[in-house]
Structure 1
Amino acid sequence: MNTTFSDDLFRRFRDLLLTRSGLYFPDHRRSDLHHCLTMVLPATGYATLEALYAAAVVDDKTLHTVIEGVTVGETYFFRNTSQFTALRDRILPDLIARREVIRSLRFWSAGCATGEEPYSLAILLHEALPDPDAWQITILATDINTAFLNRARAGVYGAWSFRETDPALRDRYFERLEGTRWRIRSDLRRQVLFARLNLVEDEYPAVMNGTTMQDVILCRNVLIYFDDDTIRAVVRRLYRALTPGGWLIVGHAEARSDFFAQFEVVNCPGTVIYRKPLHAPLFDEAIPSVPARQMVRPLSTTSADVASLLLPAPAAPSPSFVSDTPVADNAAPDTLAVARQAADRGDLATAMRLCETMVQHQPLSAEAHLLNGQILEQQGRLDEALAAYRRAVYLDHSLYLALLAMAGILHRTGHVDEAYRAYRRLLRALATLPPHAPVPSFDNATAAELQMFIQRQMEALRR
């Protein structure tokens, strides 16, 4: 096995990782990159790093393997105690006071690694909220590394992950397994939605992947792996993903004022946190899509991630649409695309108006009713969202996403029997597809994988 790492090969790997994942390896980290690639090489079946590079350029699976080999998953529960103290003592009281009426909170762990951070957040919320069961809590956890996400979904951890955790807290929220391993309680595990997302790609904030209107975003020890241009692009998108008054927490080494000029700076004991101003527009103006890097070819979303998010990728908008122009029937696809664009940037009012326009001109458009339901669900209007999903399913029985969304609302609102029937109906529909066939509107997810996901949901209903 040849692990020679010439100057030219270093530059090519460095540029490939930068353009395809945003990971930045400057010259002083050349030895780190070489070490990681050397460790990855045996598992790939290639004899040389040169051959590995050639494969990574053309094959997403190989590239994913390389990315997983060079990303760092070192983390543990309640890492950086001062930041969790700020969450408990500064951020949560603010959110509880402002959200007491609707009792709904949205959190996003961006760069969640193996899951210790979002699970720490779930535990903190359970401990700190006066009546946690009375609140609708959403915790989204994303990472670029699919191997980390699989470990996070399993929720099993060794003693090293608890090195700053009170043993009493660990015993309260984890089940002891063999040896020195513990598994997170199933009720907390179900609170967290894990999905693959590359922070460098311009795919968020978007209603379609659940990254809009966040109350708190934790993006800690992630930005340090990017160059300055990439950091600025990521921070702009994170700012847009926050609701007015929302909070951003980054790693201690990442708190550079020039990156966070749009935010208010809040000093807490032992840490600095950032807040989107309360007076910021509820719906930010669309920011021109300028990727931090021109992607050679975007990394595909894995089917396991699609099953976790239960949402498709947003459609590309039509640049020629003018919203004040009456919509003809043959313009309906453009109307739907622009409605999705408005929803993605958080302008739900415009998105809803466009959906209503489309429904008026194309009342049999199942896709319009589906998007209408997604917007209503985002606004917390679950009864109306459910009705929209029912209309979408009625118009197109093969619109599996609408049926799954309908089942999800029934599940969340405690309509156990109806949810079970909806899941079972979807299972029957998926059974008509070849097991390895991709399911329409679910990107790369196969029928077999979605069946497994739905079966787990049905099992949860019967617990």
Structure 2
Amino acid sequence: MYLRFWSAACSSGEEPYSLAMLLRYLLIDIDDWDIFLMATDINQNILNRAREGIYSRWSFRNDPIIPTDLYFSKILDNQVKLDDIIRNMVRFEKVNLVRDTSFSHGFGPSSLDLVLCRNVLMYFSQDKSHEVVTHLVNSLRIGGYLIVSPQEIGIIQGQDTRIVHEGSVFLHERVIPGAGAGRKDSSCSSPGKDVTSEFSLSSETIDAEDIEDFGYDDKSHEDIFKNWTKPEINLPGADIQEDENKEINQQIIEDRPNEAIQIINNSETDNFLQEIMEMEGAIRSYAGNGEYEKALGWSDRLIAIDVLNPRPYLLKAAVFDEQGLYEHSLQLLRQSLYASHDYLPAHLAIAGIYSKTGKPDLARHHYKLAIGILETKDEDIILEETEGIPAQKMKDMINQLLEG
């Protein structure tokens, strides 16, 4: 018995490794199976990092549906390493999805059972996305499945596939050429979750300039991170070292970021979230004073603390935006979306840039994505980075922009 998988545009490996863990957890007789799990990306540096299998706590911000402590070992206070038994299941290769359409995985055409290609096609032109999808579909056996993100379902049209509804997941099943595409609801049982997104480590960033080319409720996994505070994107304040924090805030308010940074550098606090908040304030203050190089430098330091957090990319993008460097800003915002594809502020910022640079169709695309995100929220919830505006009010404002 065999299974063949391809994780296209895999970034730093969270998706294929999640699939490998799921297979090992579900298949009791996995050693009797011939499993091929290929993961590709255009960025060699990210692939090298993926092979190492080292991740920070941000990768576990969503509760896994299987006990992940079975497959990780703690190596630092904020890092774990994936066991070799999982790492060795995945083969990483450098592949350009647009240019390498003749890429072969070694099993010949039309031989794969499942292809995952999520949150990538939306960044291609219509022609390029069609070419990539055709190649992905042709790599599947008849009856094999292609999974893309919900925002990309409409891109898959006319490539001898039909939509299969499995719980909350939509799959594109390859059918016999000429049999006709369509939609069917599967009678198969479903876990009720998008396994590849709810269980998985969350995807890390890739360079945006490359994009154009390129229910188990066990909590035992928390033992690995029992001394950690699980971070939220909307960072809360810390109540330690109150006098020092007040002094830092005062320096920022008075537009004296150099003094604030000096206090941060000399601080002995071990509060991770508090340090991030202080650095964010200093970055904004530097940018407000026109000291863009310093703002960018500290943005890079903030990104380095946790490359899987979408928020620092947003801050750095704002610095570029203020200088009118819109392409640089868009690159950072796309990286933010690769860290968290439903990060609302990034979609709004991208839409804003496209609006003021004369690209209304692209702006509308991201405004609609933002509305889709807001529709999953309670109407009265106050979202981060929206200046206290409730979800319903924000959705109404975006709809007005679309109507205008």
The structure whose residues are more often helix, as a share, is 1
Settle same-fold status: TM greater than 0.5.
no
Higher relative contact order (CA 8 A, sep 6+): 2
TM bucket (normalised to shorter chain) is 0.3 to 0.5
TM-score in terms of structure 2 length: 0.42
TM-score in terms of structure 1 length: 0.37
